[in-house]
Structure 1
């Protein structure tokens, strides 16, 4: 099978006259700059925020448990709120570091935040929700209402 037309990355048709060398177009040079390691490395220095943390949700007969992996934080960095069956878990942190030497001053600062919200089912007793932060894991325990808890099977006697 032969190639009829080669289309470069930027979508413009490639010249069929291969005898004439051409300089790269600005748009292809710009695209290539951000494809190599220099471009992505340069841009990654500006990504100091936190990505949205994943949540594991477990259920047993007594409760739901949400587990969020957020290492390197303090329990005072979190806000856990319930309002009209909406559970909100958020965090906002700022850091600043500066060094002064004879010939230079270096200052670094950062900011990160996230917010996750969940609609609680009617079976959750929102007055008894607890949150625990231990070893980089935020656990939010959502106890079920008494009437929503699974009851053990029982045998019915026939009279």
Structure 2
């Protein structure tokens, strides 16, 4: 079997081997360097937990922040508002100890995150509420009455 390599006019190497079952070294390197590297840097190396993703929706009456954080309890969260900055954080600790005849094995795990958001002036901070259901933390940020969208209306010409 011959290993032919064609060199296009742009100077890059192209593999003409059509056997797709065996990845080439360049394909492996491309896979490594084209991954989502920021998620690697945000990960907690003890547990593999990454910074949770957040969806923010705006309706006529409110903003809704949804965060996927399965495996936690609502008592694990701290939600604070300070000077129009909303912060959501959690810190959990897990300890596991197994004792055998000739050994004691102890494992400790810690995970935490903190996300902060600058709230617009249109949010009524007195009526913010949060719920946690089936791994989704939802925070309702109602708008002030003057910031709510008003319905469309017709204007008569006089």
Q: Calculate the TM-score normalised by the size of structure 2.
A: 0.69
Deviation at 1:102, TM superposition (A): 1.9
Shift of 1:101: 1.9
What is aligned with 2:133? Answer: 134
Asked if the contact 1:70/1:137 (under 8 Å) is kept, the reply is yes
Alignment coverage as a number of residue pairs: 116
Give, in angstroms, the shift of residue 83 of structure 1.
0.6
Report runs of 4+ in structure 1 exceeding 4 Å deviation.
Answer: none
8 Å contact from structure 2 (residues 125, 141) kept in 1: yes
The 3 A distance-change label for structure 1 pair 112 and 45 is closer
SS at match of 1:147: helix
CA RMSD of aligned residues (A): 1.8
Q: Could you tell me which residue of structure 2 aligns to residue 124 of structure 1?
A: 123
CA distance in structure 1 between the partners assigned to 2:142 and 2:56 by the alignment: 13
* Aligned-residue offset at 1:122: 0.8
TM-score for the superposition, normalised by structure 1? 0.69
Q: In structure 2, how many angstroms separate the alpha carbons of the residues matched to 1:46 and 1:135?
A: 25
- Conserved 8 A contact 1:89-1:117: yes
**Alpha-carbon spacing, 1:158–1:70, altered in 2? closer, same or farther (3 Å):** same
Post-superposition Cα deviations, 1:52-83, rounded to whole Å, max 9, x if no partner, equal: 11110011101100110110000000000001
Segments of structure 2 that go 5 or more residues without pairing to the other structure are: 1-42
Pairing 1:1-159 to 2, within 5 Å after superposition: 46-48=45-47, 50-159=49-158
Gaps of 5+ in 1: 1-43
